[in-house]
Amino acid sequence: MTSELERLFEHLRFASISTDSRHVADVRANAEWLVGQFEGMGMATEIHETPGNPIVIARNKHVGGRRTVLIYGHYDVQPVDPLELWDSAPFEPEIRDGKIWGRGGADNKGQHFVHMLGAEKTIREDGELPVNVIFLIEGEEEIGSPNLVPFLEEHRDELACDIIAVSDTGMVAPGVPTLGYGLRGITCLEVMVKGPTGDLHSGVYGGAVANPATAAARMVASLHEDDGKIAVDGFYDGVIPLENWEREMWAKVPGAADEDFLKTTGSPESFGEPGYSIAERLWGRPTIEVNGIGSGYQGEGSKTVLPAEAMFKLSCRLVPGQDPAMVQEKVEAHLRTHTPAGVTI
């Protein structure tokens, strides 16, 4: 294993899960590790505290008259549940079939570390970089970057640049270099559905008390029409229609055809809003996705419980013309309208 790969594996071993407060020490340790890496490259490095997780800033020696490139990345990662579906430990990276397996390898530690190695090699071989470079690596992307905008506003002048490079995207198909010019936005909701004050015996109380799990399922089902179109009143308000040139260009993109897409995802068939191709649904149309549902007994065997509450998490992917706050209001209003009798949310 090369030294570069060993260092990447060090990066991947940090369980920097920003959604879980139990990993706050891991997140901090990962940020400090990045500081050491940048300092080893000879870059001026700072760790900026925020109300949440720290932001790491690194700069080469800036030269007047040169263009400035800001390279963005994030060192926090998604949760790893359910662990039983992993073939290897998520924070013990390994190589299988020529691919790196480990949480963060593709989102986003692998990408920004490649930028770091490129800068390091250029400095080592040429003595300096041909442009002024600012690395900005944050630790809250996976929770919506709540402290990034205030940080950017506070440090606007010192972060001024000519170009921003963001590698936190994907490739349309294996082996096809991809330049993304936009991403869908996001707003998220967590919904608690409450019924009785405590779990009840389904044999004693079932049929006379509303079941929060059933109510949650009905509410989730109400979000979409049978054909995949979103059923929330006003959800599509303001959506900017796709341009003809976009639809023509996307139709030529490798990997977006049905057979390629199904091979990549492993899905039995594609499904979504009618009237749009797979590429158009992925890149140009808004969605509501259920990210998780939980309620009642989920262990082995049976337990005749009528649960006291249920929970589901939603993410809305947004496109140009939509306002996140307005979309969230409309989804909340829809859920309140479709809350079954006998439960509260």
Residues 118 and 249 in one domain: no
| pTM assigned to the model | 0.74
Report the distance separating Cα 80 and Cα 94, nearest Å: 16
In a domain, 344, yes or no: no
Q: Domain with 138 in it: what CATH number? A: 3.40.630.10
Rounded average pLDDT over 32-50: 98
Residues 152 and 7 in one domain: yes
Task: Give the start-end residues of each E strand in the chain.
Answer: 44-48, 55-59, 68-74, 94-96, 99-101, 132-138, 163-166, 185-194, 200-201, 287-295, 305-306, 309-318
By the 8 A CB rule, do 73 and 145 touch? no
Q: Which amino acid is at 245?
A: W
Per the structure block, which two tokens stand in for 193?
């559905």
Q: How many domains does the chain have?
A: 2
- At 119, is the pLDDT very low, low, confident or very high (cuts 50, 70, 90)? very high
Residues 253 and 298 in one domain: yes
- Domain end, chosen from 134, 166, 198, is at 166
- At 325, is the pLDDT very low, low, confident or very high (cuts 50, 70, 90)? very high
- Domain end, chosen from 109, 133, 166, is at 166
- Write the DSSP string, 218-261: HHHHTTB-TTS-B-STTTTTTPPPPPHHHHHHHTT-TT-SHHHH
Residues 113 and 212 in one domain: no
Residues 151 and 223 in one domain: no
Burial 294-304 (b: 16+ CB within 10 A, else e): ebbeeeeeeee
Burial 137-158 (b: 16+ CB within 10 A, else e): bbbbbbbebebbeebeeeeeee
Q: Give the pLDDT of residue 14.
A: 99
Per the structure block, which two tokens stand in for 300?
């082995």
Q: What percent of the chain has pLDDT over 90?
A: 88
Structural domain boundaries enclosing 320: 185-337
In a domain, 238, yes or no: yes
Q: Give the pLDDT of residue 331.
A: 99
Sequence-distant (≥ 6) Cβ neighbours of residue 137 within 8 angstroms: 31, 34, 55, 56, 58, 72, 73, 74, 75, 112
Residues 43 and 92 in one domain: yes
Residues 153 and 295 in one domain: no
Q: Domain with 219 in it: what CATH number? A: 3.30.70.360
In a domain, 149, yes or no: yes
In a domain, 177, yes or no: no
Residue found by looking up tokens 């390898």 in the block: 105
Rounded average pLDDT over 276-289: 95
Q: What is the mean pLDDT of the chain?
A: 95
In a domain, 173, yes or no: no
Rounded average pLDDT over 223-241: 98
Burial class (CB in 10 A: 0-12, 13-18, 19+), 176: exposed
Report the distance separating Cα 278 and Cα 272, nearest Å: 8
For the stretch 141-186, pLDDT in tens is: 999 899 999 999 999 999 999 999 998 888 777 778 888 888 899 9
Residues 154 and 202 in one domain: no
In a domain, 268, yes or no: yes
Residues 158 and 53 in one domain: yes
- Domain end, chosen from 166, 201, 219, is at 166
In a domain, 253, yes or no: yes
- At 7, is the pLDDT very low, low, confident or very high (cuts 50, 70, 90)? very high
In a domain, 258, yes or no: yes
Report the distance separating Cα 310 and Cα 294, nearest Å: 6
Rounded average pLDDT over 114-131: 97
Rounded average pLDDT over 72-81: 98
Residues 150 and 114 in one domain: yes
Residues 145 and 246 in one domain: no
Report the distance separating Cα 61 and Cα 287, nearest Å: 44
Residues 330 and 260 in one domain: yes
Rounded average pLDDT over 19-24: 96
Has residue 187 got a pLDDT over 80?
A: yes
